[in-house]
Amino acid sequence: MKFSPTLAALATWLPAASATIYFAGVAQSSGEFGAWSPTQTRGTGLPGRFGVDYAFISNSGIDTMIDTHKVNLHRVAFLLERMCPLSYGLGAKFNETHFDHFKEAIDYITITKGAYAILDPHNYMRYNDPSSQPFSGSVIGNISDPTAATTAQFAAFWGELARRFADNEKVLFGLMNEPHSMPSQLVFDNLQAAITAIRATGATNMIITPGNAWSGGHYWTKGGDEANSKWIHKLVDPIKNLAVDIHEYLDEDFSGGHLACTQDPVPNLAGVTSWLRHHGLKAFITEFGGSNTTECTSMLNGILDYMAENDEYIGWTAWAAGPFWGPNSPCCTDQRQYGSLEPGSKASDGGPGLYATVWLPVMSKKVPAKLQWSGPANVMGGVLTERV
Ligand SMILES: *[C@@H]1O[C@H](CO)[C@@H](O)[C@H](O)[C@H]1NC(C)=O
Ligand SMILES: *[C@@H]1O[C@H](CO)[C@@H](O)[C@H](O)[C@H]1NC(C)=O
Ligand SMILES: *[C@@H]1O[C@H](CO)[C@@H](O)[C@H](O)[C@H]1NC(C)=O
């Protein structure tokens, strides 16, 4: 329908939609690569060779995403076992060589390109054995496991990382990727200890908190006393710049492993959305994705529209781009090699990758024309402008 002048005039009298997306972009997944072992051999890929076994970003991929697609957010994965080698233990002592590579990527996104970056320790609330992620490694804070890193060590790690990025308002702190299969009390204790340690440094950067059960949006209010909806709003951030980090896949078991999209995100997110509203909380969906089927296209449009229409949602990153995917796929293909969201990605048969079949026709179209390009990331919002 052509928008008539009469309707346009009328529209100015209608209340403006309050829902706003401030941040949109992709997850950069490759920094956590190279540590997996089919035989679960501990230490595989550690420390790993930067640029050979893993890398954080490709500058040209970031350029395309920011300059061409006008995205302003990248979530950058790294492994705790590389930042804090096992010989040091989890804590405030970093591998400085590794940190320098990571900081170079974060500075490229935030300083050179002027976008925002989420730091993403991709560790499932575990530390010491990433060889069979997401299940291997000791659960952080498990006092029954003498080899486990403690809650205090996790807090010391975050205090140090926060101190190093406190002067960069374009850096957001993603506390942990997808805690799972552990008591929600311990998830809560670890998260609270990290928040307290971050704020003790004076850092005011936005923090985003995951939940238990893989941060699944559809499951947020489920699980009885273990439900995230019983815990996560109790986290205390003294400066109230804490948002919620939700993941939501569209396949039958919400794993992102399958090609077929059968889980409609709109009804599935209703519970977590009303919980967010009830507690006055804002959220990001930092992992979602789908293949190039008709159903996935429809549901991806559905989840992107849903975030745009509900003011509890202030940002998103799609899963996933990254320099090391090659023809492999980050999600949603039943192990077929359809490539990734990395610009220029190709499928193994030389056909178009998910960048061409999902990012370009579907996701990139939902990047709002105006996003936040300056000032601190804050749950109260910021100034929206077009990128020039
Ligand atoms: C620190 O990282 C560098 C670069 O990846 C690596 O060569 C070195 O072995 C690492 N040190 C430790 C103690 O893991
Ligand atoms: C904690 O450690 C004990 C001893 O290794 C183990 O039996 C238990 O499963 C661990 N708990 C979690 C949540 O991993
Ligand atoms: C999805 O992309 C792959 C890889 O390019 C291609 O082989 C397949 O035919 C596409 N499927 C659909 C439904 O477009």
Residue 310 is predicted with a pLDDT of 97
The dihedrals phi and psi of 203, each to the nearest 5 degrees, come to -65, 135
Q: For ligand 3, say whether the CB of 381 is within 6 Å of any of its atoms.
A: no
Structural domains of the chain ordered from first start = 17-385 (3.20.20.80)
List, for residues 50-100, the tens digit of each pLDDT value: 999 999 999 999 999 999 999 999 999 999 999 999 999 999 999 999 999
Among all ligands shown, which has an atom nearest to the Cα of 34?
1
Long-range contacts of 348-357 (CB under 8 A, 24+ apart): 353/327, 354/291, 354/292, 354/329, 354/330, 355/321, 357/292
Residue 18 is predicted with a pLDDT of 57
Residue 11 is predicted with a pLDDT of 46
Per the DSSP assignment, residues forming a β-bridge with 245 are 284
Beta strand ranges found along 42-176 (DSSP E): 73-78, 116-121, 126-127, 138-139, 171-174
List, for residues 313-355, the tens digit of each pLDDT value: 999 999 999 999 999 999 999 999 999 999 999 999 999 999 9
List, for residues 137-186, the tens digit of each pLDDT value: 999 999 999 999 999 999 999 999 999 999 999 999 999 999 999 999 99
Calculate how far, in angstroms, residue 46's C-alpha sits from the geometric centre of ligand 1. Answer: 8
Residue 19 is predicted with a pLDDT of 86
- Residue 172 structure tokens: 């957001």
CB 34, CB 54: distance < 8 Å: yes
- Residue 355 structure tokens: 């960048």
Residue 9 is predicted with a pLDDT of 47
User: Which residue's alpha carbon is nearest to atom 11 within ligand 2?
Assistant: 142
Calculate how far, in angstroms, residue 142's C-alpha sits from the geometric centre of ligand 2. Answer: 6
Among 336, 338, 340, say which to mutate for ligand 3: greatest number of ligand atoms within 8 Å of CB.
Answer: 338
Decide if pLDDT at 204 tops 70. yes
Per the DSSP assignment, residues forming a β-bridge with 26 are 74, 318
Calculate how far, in angstroms, residue 114's C-alpha sits from the geometric centre of ligand 1. Answer: 30
Q: For ligand 3, say whether the CB of 327 is within 6 Å of any of its atoms.
A: no
Among all ligands shown, which has an atom nearest to the Cα of 53?
1
